Chains A and B, each alone.
Chain A
Amino acid sequence: MSSLAATVQNIFDEPGCAKNGSKSEAERRNGCTRQLQPGSAAGGCAFDGAKVALQPFTDVAHLVHGPIACEGNSWDNRSAASSGSDLWRTAFTTDLSETDIVFGGEKRLCKAIKEIIDKCDPPAIFVYQTCIPAMIGDDINAVCKAASQKFSKPVIPINSPGFVGSKNLGNKLAGEALLDYVIGTREPDYTTPYDINLIGEYNLSGELWQVKPLLDELGVRILCCISGDGKYREVASSHRARAAMLVCSKSMINVARKMEQLYGIPFFEGSFYGIQDSSESLRQLARLLVERGAPTDLLGRTEAVIAREEARAWAAIEPYKPRFEGKKALLMTGGVKSWSVVAALQEAGLELVGTSVKKSTREDKERIKQLMGQDAHMIEDMTAREMYKMLKGAKADIMLSGGKSQFVALKAAVPWLDINQERCYAYMGYVGMVKLVEEIDKSLSNPMWEQLRRPAPWEALAKAREQMQSAMAASASDPALAETARRASKICVCNSVDLGTIEDAIYRHGLRSVVAVREHTNVVGGCCQRRIEGMFVSEPSDMRQAAE
């Protein structure tokens, strides 16, 4: 067992990670997250990361050793779904008080473990270390070891106090704990040539169950999912799997790589987000299993399932194409998702005006270029204020991002969809992508946006009055001048259509929508859509009279 500092160094030296591999020696030592800036940092701590990664193990009691903040402020905040036990949703914490900090919290921890065993008798207890007990020197490894022996039950120390680093590091530290204490400690009841592990999949909103039926149909068995809807017994015996898939995230790459090293389980990095990605992942899984000795007919059966599912999904997305025509999306998410979702959205007819590549590797960026062209707008880092400006300026019709930036979009009255972990809809697999397209359509076509963008009555009144006065003043003195001004002001820049033409068309034909204006004039109605909409709103009849 190595010290925490050594484990952390070890994790930073990850040969399986492409991004890490491309760094210099010195960069690598600094770790895989940028240095935190006091006063402008965002994101969770290492404890958060460890908890996120392991909490979806449903039958385990998760005990947080720390003061109330660590668990009291954060429990029951994830939407992972369980097919069995709900124990993972019960919060256990030692709620350390001042006295514990003075005298040490080890005894309290030991008592807490006993209380949990007496009350719930779970198959295992995971004990999470936090900053304060780490500072005062509580040795949770020793307590867990003693408790395991005393109660004949696995009590697993998860050594990931918040201040050692970021959430991502915490994911990896959680993985190390599994490797050190859990994986390989039991044998499965039986094995099949079709046994696989899914690593780094958390079954948020139960989305794993949108893919599992396909695996079931192929006869592929998920021996263990780390950790979505996982059970302790499964992860303990997961070393007998024939192949593994590292799902949509590099956060647990250490687990995948070390399981390959230790138990000879080959793995690949795949994703079930997006149609082609889902197909590719199924194909890879089948290929790896066949290489490990599964009957070769699996390949053909997999292709048949892929063909059927793809056809269904594309057919379901087809009707949205005309509805999405000319609509622009901004995608602000990290890593693999930035390209795996791009393809599906493009297929549905959305134009992507930008995608964030903050967490992406060089390969990810290459794939984005392939999909979006060489001049793809890749956003390295964008402040909330810039994002707000971009949205307010109608440079995008919808933003897809994680929950933290939602208000940037919503307060700019721009549709927004959550595609990160806190979301309430499941977007995984073929059905998931169709669901995503449906949700985008629901959001884009909602008549609410149009109402919200209208000025408040007092603003509309003030604007109308102002326009009327200036127009009347101008036309009263010189009608020709007014007309010239009207003709000179370009509303649609793309096709060079002026204010006068559009106003005349609106007045003459009583037009009420941008589409109607498009029919009667040459306007594109894309970037000028808002400006035209503004003209229906104010609709100052006096102004037109004045103009005529």
Chain B
Amino acid sequence: MALVTAPTKACAVNPLKMSQPIGGAYAFMGLRGAMPLLHGPQGCTSFGLTLFVRHFKEAIPLQTTAMSEVATVLGGYENLEQAILNIYNRTKPKIIGICSTGVTETNGDDVDAYLKLIRSNHPQLAKLPLVYVSTPDFKGAFQDGWEKAVARMVEVLVDRPSANGLWYPSKVNVLPGCHLTPGDLDELRVLLEDFGLCPSFLPDLAGSLDGHIPDEFTSTTIGGIDVDEIASMGRAGWTIAIGAQMKSAAEVMQAKTGVPFRVFERLCGLHPNDEFMTFLSEISGRPIPLKYRRQRSQLADAMLDAHFHIGGRKIAIGAEPDLLFDLSGMLHDMGAQVTVAVTTTQSEVIERIRTREVLIGDLEDLEGLAKKTHCDLLITHSHGRQAAARLKVPFYRTGFPIFDRLGAGHQISVGYRGTRNLIFEIANLVIAHREENDRPTPDRWRTAPGLRRCSGDGSAAAAERSIA
């Protein structure tokens, strides 16, 4: 059991956290022909947009109700109405996903009521799904926004199956957490199909943000799951939720449609994938394909090769709860010590992280603790680059945003193969860093990092940490 501590500082320094509304908007980006809309001042959208563009190197559909000071005082009805009509007329979306922001939550805009009024005033919108989710900036984090948005989508868009309706046992709903990349979703899709299953991903970022070149120019999302397909999710045999954050959406699905679910909190590492494969084999009634037996063996071999480099490493990791739980679990299983763990928001998984203490904090905390405990591998998103440079330790970028490296959307961590490649990548970082910085010389043997690590024994490090 890890001790979970909350921040005591008044000033967050180098935030790890990003806001709820853009997490919600991100979920809507996995729907085909969608236009996510932030109900708030234009800056909320503009910052989010820039962040997504820098991460994915893609055009991002994201609009704003452009709340001005006056509109904030008078209430946002007119702005919301105009925004929806403008989007409807200009871009012909198949769905508009609306997320509130701090401003419109603080002034108390009743968006659900607004939407009813807008619908009654504009009958042309009758067939356009409008999904609203409340995501104030001053609560929660990116992952919470995603979680709420997906639960809302299930609530609003999935049809309740009729009593004598058809039911497809091979159809499987997959509710992926926001820590999975488009590359992860593609990997999972192939995997499920290899078991003869027919998956529907909600949301499906692999269709929209996998970095492909569309035939035509559209200002909405260029792919993703179709609204009609979402409606039919109630006829699936199973729902697979990936990451603890997706449990609530899976529960909503079960309550509404009766489709049973199973949550896979982790899909990175040998054991989690064994469980996953077993489950797929059970629900599909097929043996695990030879391809995956081979991949499992390759992963085992990769673990053998890499444990020399990852084993014993002191790791400082900062990520959103589900990603933190998944990655730190895999690294712990490889013999690394998760020495510092920092996350953004509350979650049921964080106290089960294999470390002493999990701090809900920022990158200043991560950097300070990493320095104090002599961590020798830093894992967080791109904003950790300044800390890594100061700490002079190898730095593995993961999560969101990754803006200073390419291919963020195709970084894979799920499955035997994904885990294998991830292990290689981290081990290679460690090797490269050692070759560049830790070449032995005749006069540095007394200060060699290995020795220093041995002398500062576990209890001393723990004492240091408890002071922090």
**A residues within 8 Å of B by Cβ?**
36-48, 63, 66-77, 86, 89-98, 100-101, 108-109, 111-116, 119, 131-132, 134-136, 161-166, 384-385, 388-389, 403-404, 407-408, 411-413
Contact = CB atoms under 8 A, between A and B. Distances in A.
A37 B82 contact: yes
Contacts of B106: 101, 132, 135-136
A68 B42 contact: no
Given A41-B42, A67-B137, A70-B47, A385 B386 contact: no
Interface in B125-140: 136-139
B143 to A, nearest CB: 13
A90 B13 contact: yes
A413 B213 CA distance: 9
Given A162-B41, A407-B58, A411-B59, A76 B383 contact: yes
B107 A135 contact: yes
A113 B46 CA distance: 27
Interface of B: 9-15, 17-19, 21-22, 37, 40-48, 50-51, 53-54, 58-59, 63-69, 71-72, 79-80, 82-87, 90, 101-103, 106-107, 136-139, 141, 213-214, 217, 219, 383, 386, 403
Looking at chain A's contact residues, the main secondary structure is helix
A38 B86 contact: yes
Nearest to B16: A72
Given A96-B138, A385-B219, A41 B14 contact: no
Contact of A72 (B15, B59, B64, B72): B15
B101 A73 contact: no
A38 B82 CA distance: 6
A195 to B, nearest CB: 34
Contacts of A388: 217
Given A38-B66, A69-B102, A101-B106, A93 B47 contact: no
A91 B14 contact: yes
11 contacts: A39-B63, A39-B82, A44-B43, A69-B137, A70-B43, A73-B47, A113-B11, A163-B69, A163-B71, A164-B68, A407-B59
A289 to B, nearest CB: 39
B318 to A, nearest CB: 13
Given A69-B47, A93-B12, A135-B103, A38 B18 contact: no
A96 B139 CA distance: 9
B64 A95 contact: no
Nearest to A119: B13
B383 A75 contact: yes
Given A116-B11, A131-B40, 7 more contacts: A67-B137, A71-B15, A72-B15, A72-B18, A76-B383, A76-B386, A86-B386
A91 B45 CA distance: 20
Given A69-B101, A76-B386, A91-B15, A38 B138 contact: no
A119 B53 CA distance: 34
Given A94-B10, A112-B10, A163-B69, A132 B103 contact: yes
Contact of A163 (B47, B68, B213): B68
A166 B17 CA distance: 25
Contacts of A73: 18-19, 22, 47-48, 51
A135 B101 CA distance: 13
Contact of B41 (A72, A97, A131): A131
A97 B217 contact: no
Contact of B42 (A44, A98, A411, A413): A44
A111 B11 contact: yes
Contacts of A38: 64-66, 79-80, 82-83, 86
A97 B21 CA distance: 15
B10 A41 contact: no
Contacts of A412: 217
Given A72-B19, A131-B72, A411 B46 contact: no
Contacts of A161: 69
Nearest to B68: A163
Nearest to A389: B217
A113 B136 CA distance: 25
A73 B41 CA distance: 14
A411 B214 contact: yes
A134 B48 CA distance: 21
A99 to B, nearest CB: 9
Considering residues A46, A48, A163, which has the most beta carbons from chain B within 10 angstroms of its beta carbon?
A: A163
B13 A67 contact: no
Contact of A131 (B11, B103, B136, B219): B103
A43 B46 CA distance: 6
